[in-house]
C-alpha cells in the first residue's frame, strides 16, 4: 500500500519552539485565553469527557437489553439512563463536536484570519457549555430525568417528578454556547476572509460549517423558548402546553422539532465538511462539483427548516400537513445525495490512499448512505406509522449520527491531529481502530433495523424473549465498538509525547492550514496570506514545493 505520508527528516524536524501551545504557560493562560485554537482544545477535552459519559450510559443500556427481563436495573432507572444518554450525546457531544473543536481551530486559519471575529464571546461559549454540562451532570447525579431527550409535554410538565427543570435550564444555557459559536463563524466567514479568498475559493469545510451556523443561529432560540415555557409550566403552572387549561401539547412538539430537526443537520453538516476535505486530500483530486457540494450544504440548511413535522406523523397532526411534510422530507434527500455522488466521483480515477482519516471517511460514506436511505422509509408517512417508535428509528439515527457523524469526527481528528499537536499517531494501530469501529458499529446497529421491522418498541427495559438473539448481537457489537472508541484515546494521548514529529504538511494537502507550521503560531500567520489558488489545487501545491526547492538550492 503506497502511502503519501511524507514525514520530514527525523534528524532535522522538530516541533517549532514558538507555537500556540507554548506561547503562554499556566492554567490561567488556558482558562482566560482568547485564542481560538486553545478554546478548540478546551472544547475537545470537554466534549471527549462528555462523550465517554454518554458512552458509559449507552453501555448500561446495551447491558440491560442483553436479557428480555429488566434485571440489571429497574424500569424507571432504565428510563433515566437512556434519557441521559440522549441528552448528553446530542446536546453535549454531537452539536458541538466538529464545529466547536475542529471548526473553532480551523475556520479562522482556512479563511486566512488571525482569530475568530469575537474571541471573548468564543471563550464565553465554552464557559456556557461547561455550565450547561455541569448542570446536566448535577441533574443526573441528584435523581436524573426520565422524559427522553425530547422533554415531551405533558409527560415533562405533569407526569414525572424528576429533574426536568435543572436539565431544561442546562440545555438552555448550552444552547447559547451553540448560538455564540454559530454567530462567530458567520461573522468571521463574511467579514474576515483574507485578500483574494472569495466565497468559491473557500474549502468545503468552511461552507458546511457556515450552513450549520445558520441553523444554530436561527434554530436554537426556538428550542430555548420552548424550554423556558416548559420550565414556567412546571414551576408556576402557566398553561401554554397544558390541555386542562386549553393549551396544546402538540405546540411544544412543533417548537421542539423546529429546532431539533435542523439540529440533526447542525450535527451532520460539519461532518460532511470534514469528509470533503479528507476525500479530496487522499484521492489527490479537486472535489468533484465543488459548487454543487457547497450549495448542497446551504440547501440542506434551508430545507432542514421545513421538514420538522415528520417527527410527529403519528401524534395527531392533520393528514394534509403530513402529505406536505412527507414531500418536503424527500426533498432533503436530494442535496444529501448530491454530496454522496460528488464524493464518489471525486474518488473516480483519483490516486486513492488508505490512511486512517480516509478509512473513517469510507465508513462515513457507507453508513451515512444506509442511514439516509432508511430515513426515506421514515419520511414516507405510510411506512413511518409501522416503523416509528421502534428500534428501526433507533438504528436509523444511530447510522446517521454515530455511523455518519462520529466517523466524520474521528476522520477529522485523525486528519488534523498533526496540525493540532504537531505529532503523528501510530498509523497501523489507528487503521486497526477505524476498522474495529466500522465492524463494531455494524454489529451493534444493523440488528436493530431487523428488531424494528419485527416491531420491537424503543424505550423499554424489557422485551419479548423472541427478540433476544438480535439484542445479544447488538450488545456484543457494542462491546467491539467500545474498544474501537477507546483505542484512539490511548494512542492519541501516547502520540502527544512519543509520536513522530509531523512537519507542516504530512498529507500534502492544499488548505491554508497546511501551509503554516504545526502546531500553528498564536497569530496563525506571520503575514496575512494573499490567496490566488482555488481550493484543492494540487498542481498549485506542486509548484509551491518546486519553488521552495529552487529557492533553497
User: Which spans of this chain sit near other proteins (rule: CB under 8 A)?
Assistant: 23-24, 32-35, 108, 113-119, 121, 179, 183-184, 186-188, 190-192, 217-222, 224-226, 228-229, 232-233, 236-240, 245-248, 251, 254-255, 258, 522-523, 526, 528
Spatial distance between the Cα atoms of 272 and 278, rounded to a whole number of angstroms: 10
Spatial distance between the Cα atoms of 292 and 390, rounded to a whole number of angstroms: 35
Cβ proximity to other proteins: between 64 and 513 the closer is 513
Residue 102 C-beta: closest distance to other proteins, Å: 19
Do residues 367 and 340 make contact, with C-beta atoms less than 8 angstroms apart? no
Do residues 509 and 533 make contact, with C-beta atoms less than 8 angstroms apart? no
Spatial distance between the Cα atoms of 420 and 398, rounded to a whole number of angstroms: 28
Do residues 241 and 251 make contact, with C-beta atoms less than 8 angstroms apart? yes
Cβ proximity to other proteins: between 35 and 384 the closer is 35
Cβ proximity to other proteins: between 212 and 240 the closer is 240
Residue 224 C-beta: closest distance to other proteins, Å: 6
Residue 255 C-beta: closest distance to other proteins, Å: 5
Cβ proximity to other proteins: between 277 and 513 the closer is 513
Spatial distance between the Cα atoms of 64 and 81, rounded to a whole number of angstroms: 10
Look up cell 434519557; give the residue.
83
> What does each C-alpha distance from 403 to 92, 123, 245, 271, 407 come to in angstroms?
18, 30, 43, 11, 6
Cβ proximity to other proteins: between 222 and 451 the closer is 222
The per-residue DSSP string of 187-224 comes to HHHHH-PPTT--GGGS-HHHHHHHHHHHHHHHHHHHHH
Spatial distance between the Cα atoms of 171 and 1, rounded to a whole number of angstroms: 47
> What does each C-alpha distance from 246 to 145, 239, 255, 396 come to in angstroms?
26, 7, 17, 35
Spatial distance between the Cα atoms of 37 and 190, rounded to a whole number of angstroms: 20
Cβ proximity to other proteins: between 243 and 382 the closer is 243
Coil, helix or strand for 390? strand
**Dihedral (Cα; 502, 507, 508, 513), 10-degree rounding:** -70
Cβ proximity to other proteins: between 54 and 219 the closer is 219
Residue 368 C-beta: closest distance to other proteins, Å: 28
Cβ proximity to other proteins: between 214 and 359 the closer is 214
Residue 74 C-beta: closest distance to other proteins, Å: 32
Residue 304 C-beta: closest distance to other proteins, Å: 14
Residue 197 C-beta: closest distance to other proteins, Å: 12
Cβ neighbours of residue 240 under 8 Å, at least 6 residues apart? Answer: 229, 232, 233, 247, 251
Do residues 13 and 420 make contact, with C-beta atoms less than 8 angstroms apart? no
Residue 90 C-beta: closest distance to other proteins, Å: 20
Residue 21 C-beta: closest distance to other proteins, Å: 13
Residue 303 C-beta: closest distance to other proteins, Å: 18
Cβ proximity to other proteins: between 254 and 286 the closer is 254
Cβ proximity to other proteins: between 245 and 547 the closer is 245
Amino acid at each position: 500500500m503506497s502511502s503519501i505520508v511524507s514525514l520530514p527528516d527525523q534528524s532535522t524536524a522538530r516541533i517549532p519552539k514558538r507555537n500556540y501551545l507554548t506561547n503562554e504557560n499556566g492554567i490561567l493562560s488556558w482558562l482566560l485565553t482568547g485564542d481560538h485554537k486553545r478554546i478548540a482544545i478546551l472544547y475537545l477535552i470537554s466534549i471527549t469527557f462528555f462523550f465517554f459519559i454518554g458512552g458509559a450510559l449507552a453501555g448500561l443500556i446495551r447491558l440491560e437489553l442483553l436479557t428480555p427481563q429488566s434485571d440489571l436495573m429497574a424500569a424507571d432507572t432504565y428510563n433515566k439512563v437512556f434519557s441521559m444518554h440522549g441528552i448528553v450525546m446530542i446536546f453535549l457531544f454531537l452539536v458541538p463536536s466538529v464545529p466547536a473543536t475542529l471548526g473553532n481551530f480551523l475556520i479562522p486559519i482556512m479563511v486566512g484570519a488571525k482569530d475568530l471575529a469575537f474571541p471573548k464571546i468564543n471563550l464565553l461559549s465554552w464557559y456556557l457549555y461547561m455550565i450547561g454540562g455541569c448542570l446536566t451532570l448535577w441533574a443526573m447525579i441528584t435523581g436524573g430525568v426520565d422524559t427522553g431527550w425530547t422533554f415531551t409535554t405533558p409527560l415533562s410538565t405533569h407526569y414525572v417528578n424528576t429533574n426536568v427543570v435543572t436539565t431544561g435550564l442546562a440545555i438552555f444555557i448550552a444552547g447559547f454556547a451553540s448560538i455564540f459559536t454559530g454567530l462567530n463563524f458567520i461573522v468571521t466567514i463574511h467579514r474576515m476572509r483574507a485578500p483574494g479568498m472569495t466565497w468559491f475559493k473557500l474549502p468545503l469545510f468552511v461552507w458546511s460549517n457556515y450552513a450549520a451556523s445558520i441553523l444554530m443561529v436561527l434554530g436554537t432560540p426556538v428550542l430555548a423558548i420552548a424550554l423556558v415555557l416548559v420550565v414556567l409550566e412546571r414551576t408556576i403552572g402557566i398553561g401554554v402546553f397544558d390541555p386542562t387549561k386549553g393549551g396544546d401539547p402538540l405546540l411544544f412538539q412543533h417548537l421542539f422539532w423546529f429546532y431539533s430537526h435542523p439540529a440533526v443537520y447542525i450535527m451532520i453538516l460539519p461532518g460532511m465538511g470534514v469528509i470533503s476535505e479528507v476525500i479530496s486530500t487522499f484521492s489527490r483530486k479537486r472535489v468533484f462539483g465543488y459548487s454543487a457540494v457547497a450549495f448542497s450544504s446551504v440547501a440542506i440548511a434551508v430545507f432542514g427548516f421545513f421538514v420538522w413535522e415528520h417527527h410527529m406523523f403519528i401524534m395527531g397532526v392533520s393528514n394534509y400537513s403530513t402529505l406536505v411534510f412527507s414531500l418536503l422530507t424527500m426533498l432533503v434527500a436530494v442535496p444529501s445525495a448530491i454530496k454522496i455522488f460528488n464524493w464518489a466521483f471525486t474518488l473516480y480515477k483519483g490516486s486513492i490512499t488508505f490512511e486512517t482519516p480516509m478509512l473513517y471517511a469510507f465508513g462515513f460514506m457507507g453508513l451515512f448512505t444506509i442511514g439516509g436511505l432508511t430515513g426515506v422509509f421514515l419520511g414516507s408517512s405510510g411506512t413511518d406509522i409501522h416503523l416509528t417508535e421502534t428500534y428501526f428509528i433507533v438504528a436509523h439515527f444511530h447510522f446517521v449520527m454515530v455511523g455518519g457523524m462520529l466517523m466524520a469526527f474521528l476522520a477529522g481528528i485523525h486528519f488534523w491531529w498533526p496540525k493540532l499537536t504537531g505529532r503523528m499517531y501510530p498509523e497501523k494501530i489507528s487503521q486497526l481502530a477505524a476498522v474495529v469501529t466500522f465492524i463494531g458499529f455494524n454489529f451493534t446497529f444493523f440488528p436493530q433495523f431487523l428488531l424494528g421491522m419485527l416491531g420491537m418498541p424503543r424505550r423499554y427495559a424489557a422485551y419479548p424473549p423472541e427478540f433476544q438473539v438480535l439484542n445479544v448481537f447488538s450488545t456484543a457489537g457494542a462491546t467491539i465498538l467500545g474498544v474501537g472508541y477507546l483505542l484512539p484515546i490511548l494512542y492519541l494521548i501516547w502520540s502527544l509525547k512519543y509520536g513522530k514529529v509531523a512537519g507542516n504538511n504530512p498529507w500534502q494537502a492544499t488548505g491554508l492550514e497546511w501551509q503554516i507550521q504545526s502546531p500553528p503560531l498564536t497569530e496563525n500567520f506571520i503575514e496575512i496570506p494573499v490567496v490566488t489558488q482555488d481550493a484543492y489545487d494540487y498542481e498549485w501545491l506542486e509548484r509551491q514545493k518546486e519553488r521552495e526547492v529552487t529557492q533553497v538550492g
